Each structure stands twice: as C-alpha cells, then as structure tokens.
Structure 1
Amino acid sequence: MLSQLNIPRKLGMSFVAICATAALVMAVFAVNLFMINRLSARSDASRNILAQTMALETSILRENSQLRGFLVTADPSYLKSYTEARAEFDKTSAELRSALTDPAEVKLLDEAREGTLAWRAQWSDTLVAQIKGGDQAGAQERVRAAGKAVLVTKPVLALREIRDHQKEIIADNDSSQSHAILIGSVALVIGGAAMIGLAITLALALSRAIAQPITQLTASMSDLASGHLDIHVATDRHDELGDMARAVVVFRDAARSRQQAEHDQKEALAEIGRILRRLADADLTVRLKGLPSAYQTIASDFNEALARLSTAMQTVGACVDTIRNNSAEIRASANELSERSENQATNLARQASAMEEITASARNGTALINEANGAMTETRHEAEQGGQVVQDAISAMQGIDRATQEISEIIGVIDGIAFQTNLLALNAGVEAARAGDAGKGFAVVASEVRALAQRSADAARDVKTRILSAGEHVHSGVKLVNETGEALHRIINRVSNVSETISAIAQSAQEQSIGLEQINGAISLMDGMTQKNAAMVEETTAAAHMMGNEAGRLFEAFSAFKVGEGQGGFAPPAANYSSGPAPVALPPLRAKPAPVAPPPPRAVANGGFAADDWSEF
C-alpha cells in the first residue's frame, strides 16, 4: 500500500500518527493536570480558612487573657492589647464569613461571633467600665464569684469544629491529588512507550519504502555518470522515486543521443576546419560539402554567407577604387580651401584691429561726455541751492513786513492813548480853573500832563512816519527779491534742460560705446573662429592626404582576395598618395583684446567684405 502513495503522503501519514498519539497522551495529562490544579486550589482555600479560624481563636483567647491582666493590674497597656485583639477578631471573622461556602460552617462561625459578642456585653465591657470607674476590687470579686461562667469556651469550641472539618477536606483533597498524579504518570509512561514503538515501526516501513529505492537509484545514477549507458532502471513505482527513475531513463537516452551527436560533431568540425584554412588563404570560392544531416542547415547558411560575402567584396573593390579617385579630388580641394582660409583670416584680423581703435575712441568720447554731464549736474545743484537761499530771503523780508505793520498798529494805539491823555488833561485844567485857588496846583500838573501827552503824540507820529517809510523800502526789497527768485528759477530750469540734454547725449554715447564693444567682441570671436576654421582646414588637408594613402593601402590589401572563378585582385594603384603640396602654414593667433560680454544676435555691417568672399569662405 505504501508503494502506491507519494513520499509527502507517506511522511504526512507517519507524522499524523505520531501527532495523534502525542495529542492523546497530552489530553490525558491535561485532564489530570486540571484536576490537580482544582484540588490544589481547594486545599489552599481550606488551609486559608484553617489559618483564619486559628487566628480567631487566638484573638478570643488574647482578649480573655488581656482582660484578666487589666483586671489584676489596671495597667492601660493590657487594655490597649485587649482592644487590638478585639478589632483583629472583628476583622478576621468578617473575612472568614465571606470565604466560607458550607452553610454548616457559616452557622458555626455565627455562633462563635454571637457567643463572643455576648461575652463582651456581659463581662468584658462591664468589667472594663467598672475598673475605669475605680472599682477594681469589686470587679475582681465579681470574677471570682462567677467562676467558669466568665470563660469563652463556647466560641472557641465552635471555631475548633470548623477547623476539624477543614482538616478533613484537606486530607481528602491531598488523597485525590495523589491519585491524579499517579494516573497522569502512568498515562505519560504508556503514551511515551506507544510513541516510541510507533516511531520505530514507521521508521522501518519508511526505510523499506523510501531509503532502499533511493540507494538503488543512486547507484544507477552513479553508473550513468561513469559512462555506462547499458544500465536497467525500474520505472513501475507511482511515487516521486518512480518519477526520478523515469528521469534517469531520460538522462540515459539523452546521453546516448549526445554520444552520437559528438561523433557527428567531430566529423563536421574537421570539414569546417579545412574550409576555414582555405578562407584564411583569402579564398572566398570554397563551399561546405559532405556534412552529416544534422549540420546541413549550417552548411547551407555558411555557403550562402560566403556567396554574399563574395558579392559584397566585389562591391567593396569597386568602392575602394572610387574612394581612391575621390580622395585625390578632396586633397586638391582641401589645399585650395586652406589658401582661401589663410587670406580670410588675415583680412579679418586687420578689420578687428581697426574696430578696436574705433571702440577705444568711442570709449574716450563717452568718458568726456560723462565728465560734462557731471559738471552740469553739480551746476544745477548749486543753482537750486541759490534758489533755496532766495526763497529763505523772501520769507525773511515778508516777516519784516509783517513786523512793520504790527509796529504801525502799536504806534496807532500809542497815538490814541496820547490823544485821550491830552483830552483828560484839558478836562482836568477846566475843573482846576473852576476850583479856583484850591485847584491851581492841580492845574499845573494837568498842564504838564497835557504837554507830555502832546510830546508823546508828536513822537508817535514821527515814528509812524519813519516806519511807513521803512515799510515802503521793505516792500521794494521784497519785490526785488521775488524778481530775483523768479529769474534764478528760470536759470535753474534752463540748467536742468541743458543737464538733461547732456545726460541724454551721455546715455546715447554710452549705448554707442557698448554697441561698438559688442561689435568688437563679435569681430574678435569671428577672428578666433576664422583662425580655428583655418586650423581645421589644415587638419582636413592633412586628413585628405592620409585618406589617400589609406585608400591605396586598402586597395593593395583587397587585391589579395579571390572572389570568383578566374577572378583575382585589382591592379594596385600606380600613384603615390604621399605626394602633393605641403599643408599651408597659417599665421599665428594674434593677441585678443580684453574679453567682452557676447552681444545678443543682431545684424552687423559687412565691414567692406564682398559677398562673394563670404560665399567662397
């Protein structure tokens, strides 16, 4: 059955069997492990309950003992320890009640708590209060009289019942856990032994089904690699080994075909070598004949290629002869072109020198115009400054005129005051005359005041007359200054017009200078390009001579080929291609002016050269 399956299925079935056995063992082990974990958790919970019941019993006994110590000594430290034990009991009992799941144990815990609370209410709380009240002897007498009634036996017994029950649960869990461990160990041992036995069985079966056929197939392949082509290979298997065996048979048949092909190849190579030796002797008339049938296509293609090559070589021979004749014409044309290039380079060099002189003259004229423009600009600035001074003088004269008018107004006010003072003095004199002798002194004062007022009025009129005269002179000065400012303004305008005209002339001269420099640069570039062209023409002439010589040598080499029945090479040329005039020597490159920025493309005058000269160039 295994021989009808392929190798991946054989290996897959083997691995599936091993994996299934391992999965079964792992399942049994996992179930036992789950049981062990669950029993361990239950045992841990029981041990926790056991520890808490022990802690409750300890707390109750501690309360009792600390209460007795406080009863005997009335020491507050006993009371403090009693209070701590009491709080510990309350806390632990609450935690234990939430952890218990058995109703009987919960009932026992409630009985222990109720008994403890009853003991506290009946004895401990009242005794503590009595001792704190100072009746320590009465409290002691009360305890002696109570006898065993003051003990806490009932709560302790209830807690011990819970603890005994938990010990039984722990013992049962430990027994079940040991049994589960034993079952898991037995299952692991049995499963391991089964897996080992299955692995050994599958290894033997796979060895017979895969390893032995591979060894036999390897031996057959080694014989085939050693050159033994008469081997027998079994091809009746339906798996990968059968495919490999059939592939080995294909290799064997291919090796036999290759051996026959090598024999045919040796015969063909011998014939091809003979034909190639004749081709090495420049014989293009040979043809391949008598090759094996596998090489008939190659022979046909080779013979056709040789026929085309013979035709091409005949065409090449005609072309070589044409090249030989044309190279002579090119050499003569190159010599003539070299002479014309030399003449053109000389003429262009003279034109470039003349253009440099014109450019230098234009540059000097532009510099002089720029200096004149600067002088006119300075003159215009000075004239504008003078106009500003005249404007300031006009403003000052106008201020003086306004001040004169204000002084005239003030003098008018003073004249009015003097007139009023004169009237008052006259009225005072009239009143003094009416008063008689009593008013004589006052009349004298009034006359003096009148005289003073009259002198003030006269002085005011005199000052007013002079100020009016000065005002007329100021008006005349303002008028003259205004006329001077207008004349100076006209001068500034004319100077500005002249300065603008000179600036336009300077700008035009600058543009002309730039244009001349661009033309000079263009001519310099043309001069350099012409000299380079002349050098290239010289190189072309030398290349034409070399091409003629090479054409002669090519014709001599081609004449050695045999390209047809009764045809030989062409006759070698009689002309000596190395002869001919020597290349024309060109004048050395002259020094160029300072580099100028290349101008934009623009139309430039012909510079006196005839149109036919440029067409010939």
Structure 2
Amino acid sequence: MGRNLKISVKLKIGFLFVVVITCIVGCIGIAGMRQISAADQSLYDQQTKPLQYISNMIQAVQSICIEERNAIGFSGDPAKISEIENKIDEYSVVFKENQDKYLTVLTVQEGINLVKGAGEVYDNTFFPHVKTVLKTAAQGDAESAQAVLESDAESAEKIIDTYNQCFKNSNRDALSKSTANVELTTHLTILLAVIIVIGVTACILLCTIIVRSISRPMEELVRASEHFAKGNLQTEITYQSENEIGRLAESLRSAFQSLQEIIHELSRTLGKISEKDLSMEPLESYKGDFDSVSQSVNTILNGLNDFFSVVQTSAEQVNSGSEQVSGGAQELAQETAEQAGIIEGLLASASEVSQRVRKNSDHVADTVQNIDETTKHIRQSNVQMEEMLSAMREIEDSSNEISKVINMIDSIAFQTNILALNAAVEAARAGQAGKGFSVVAEEVRNLAMKSADAAKQTTELIERSIKKVEEGSSIANSTAQTLDEAAKQIESVERTIHQIKQTSVEQAAAMSEISEDVEQISAAIQRNSATAEESAAASEELSAQADMLKKELVNFKLRP
C-alpha cells in the first residue's frame, strides 16, 4: 500500500504530522505564557503596586512632622502658619487617598487590621495633635507647641512602624508568589521539552520512512542515469511501482531501448561514411524528438553528396583564381609601404600635442592643491569660531545660574533679617536676661544687610557681563557667517578647478589613446604589407593544393 502512494501524498502526510506537533507545542506554550502573565500581573497588583501606596503614606506623615517643626519656627506668624496648615491638609489628603487605595488591594486580614489600626491612631491621636501644634504656634506659644509636638512623636513613629511592617509583609508575600511563578515556569518548560522530544522523535521516524521509500528507487535510477551518461545503455532497471518513480523507471527502460536501436543504425551509417561510401539510402524517420536526428543524418548525406560534387567543380576554379590573387597581393604590398610613411608623420604630431596637454594638466593639479589648502584653513577657522560661540553661550548660561544663586542669597539675607528682628523683639521682652541675645540679633541683622548689599552689587556686575557676552556673541555670529560665505565661494571655485582638471585629464587620456591608435594603425599597415607578400606566396601554394584535391575526390563514391 505505502509502496504505491504518490510522493506528494507521502510528503503531505509528513508535513501534516509536523504541523500537528507544532500546533500542540504552540498551544501549550501560549497557555503557559498566559498563566505566567496572569501570575506576574497578580504579583504586581497585590504586592508591588501597594508598596507605592505605603511609601506615599509614610512620606505624607514625615512631611506633616516636618511642617509641624516649621510651624513652631514661625510661632506668632499666623499667615505663615496658615500656609503651613494648608500644606499639612494636602499631605493629609494624600495619606487618606493612599490608605483607601491600599485597603482595596489588601486580601489578608492581618494587613487590613494593621492599616485600620494605623488609621485610627492617625485620626484620633496624631492629626488632632498636629492641629493643636498649629493652633498653639499661631498664638505665639512656642514652648507649648513644642511640648505637644514631642508628645505627638510617639504616635507618628507608631504609624510609620505600622506601615514599615506592612511593607515587610508585602515583600514576604511577593517573594512567595515569585517562587510559585518560578515553579510554574519550570513545570511548563519541562512539559514543553518532553512534548518537543516526542514530536521530534516521531518526525524523524516518519521522515526516515518517507525518505527511504523515495531514496532507494531514486538511487537505482541515478545509477542507471550515471551508466547512461558514461555511454552504457545495457543497464537494467528492476524497480516497478504505480507512483511517479515507477512511471519514471518504465520511461527510462523504454528510452534506453529506443536509444540502443537508434545508435546501432547511426553506427552503421557512420561506418560507411568513414569508408568514403556516400551512396547509401536515406534513414527512416525516428519517433518524437529523435526524428530531427534522422533528418539531420539524411541532410548530412545529401549535403556531402552535393558538397563533393561542387568541390570537384570548384577545385578547377580555385586553381585559376589563385594566380589572379598573387598579382593583386603584390600591388597591395607597394601601396601599404606608402601609407606607412604618412602614418609616421601623423604619429609625431600626436605625440607633441599629448605632451602639451600633460603639462596643462600638471598646472591645473597645482592650482587644485592650493585651493584645497585654502578651503581647509577657512573650514578650520569656521570650526574654531563655532567653538568660541559655544564657549560664550556656556559663559552666558553660567552667568544666569550665578544670578539665580545670588537671588537665593538675597532671599536668605532677607529672611535672616526678619529672624533677627523677631529675635530682637523677643530679647526686649525678656528684659535684662535677653540683653546679650539682643546684641547678637543686631549683629546678625547687620550681617544680613551686608549680604543683601553684596548680592545686589554682584547681580549688577553679572548683568553687565551678560550684556558684554551678548554683544560678543553677535559679533562672533556675524564673523562666522562671513567665513561660511567665503567657504562656500571657495568650494564653488574648487569645483570649477576640479572640472577643469578632470577635462585636462580626459584630454590627456584621449591624446594618449589617439597616439596608441596611430601606432596600432602603423603596425597594422606593416602587417598588411607582410601579409600581402605572404598572400602572393600562398596563392601559388593554393594552386598546387587544388591539383591534389582533384586527385583525392576521385576516390569518393557518390550517388548517381
């Protein structure tokens, strides 16, 4: 059954089996990738993403604590404390939003209880104390506000410790899920490897069976074809089948038999031709494309009969014509000698023109070299100008940055002056005990005013420097533009000179070719002269050969 299957059917079965194995491996791989993707998404949603919520809540609590301390520093300044209170309210909103988001992703009751406990501490203890600190500081009671702040530190630390514990729990759960994902990946890899090994083994077996069913008869046909290529038509083909290879084997057996008959008849015909017997009858027509062989052989026989008949007639005409060729060859030799003298004069003129063209090409090459060096220097100047412009822009940017720093110093001096005034007021309230502190505050204030004056002077100097840099940049840009235009004009001149150089080189090459052609013509004329003399001698020899040919043709047996 399998022996008579067509090759296309065998190949289709093999490819279909490979496709099925590939689909199985692909489906299992896709399913495994989806499981791994779902596990990774779950790991991100339940463990990784909540870490950001925890970080935001801890940062919000820490920011509130910092703003509390800032509020105590601005004790007695209701406007500043109101600004701080707005920031604390914003941080509180951030804390609440992240707490709600974190509770929505939590699935473990332990974590939910920890977060709710921290929220109660925040709502019942921490945040009310923060409000108390702000209120007390706004009233100017810094000591009471500091006391409340210190009592509130424990609740803030408790909240932060709680969320640090939540952070550790999330890391622990993430590690557990990551380990599970690794195990899932390992199992899927092993399963795919097993299926691939089984599929590859099955494919190899199926391919081996198909290849053997095709290769064995093909080897027999190849051996027969090799013997045929070597000229051996006695090769026996034993393979028989109803598929394509079986039909091919039958066709080769029939072809070999037909060729044996044709070659036998051709051998007989060629044997008679070798015996100078051209009087045989024409061959019968062969089958198929071999018909052209029989027609060709018949055409050759007819052509040979006609040819030798014509040759016998032509031999006499060749004998008389060779004498006429000998006389013409002698006249041709004399004319070619005269042409050789004319060509020698032309060759001398061409050589002189070629030398002048080469000198002109050398002068143009020197000019091109000078233009190239000038263009190179202008380009270097342009590059250096660009570097100078870049340096001036960097100076301008640095000056702007320094201006920003000076403005910051001026702002710090202003704030220091305000603090010194506040310190002087507090020292005056303290009476005799604050007298020394009042002196220090006055010195701090003087120092702040001097810093502000110095910053102002430095700012003016930097602004003048920036203006000078801008003027220098404008001049440098104008110079760079002028250099760029000069470079473009030089490049245009350079292109023109290169074209002239190329034309000169082409002219020199053309003159060299003309000189070579003239030399070749001179050599050809000399060869023609020699050939004419040889032709005269050959004509005499041809006459003698014609006589011999007539004698040889008498031995051929032609059709009547």
> More relative contact order in 1 or in 2 (CA 8 Å, sep 6+)?
2
Bigger Cα Rg: 1
Question: More helix per residue: 1 or 2?
Answer: 2
The question of a shared fold, defined as TM-score above 0.5 by the shorter chain, is answered with no
TM range (shorter): 0.3 to 0.5
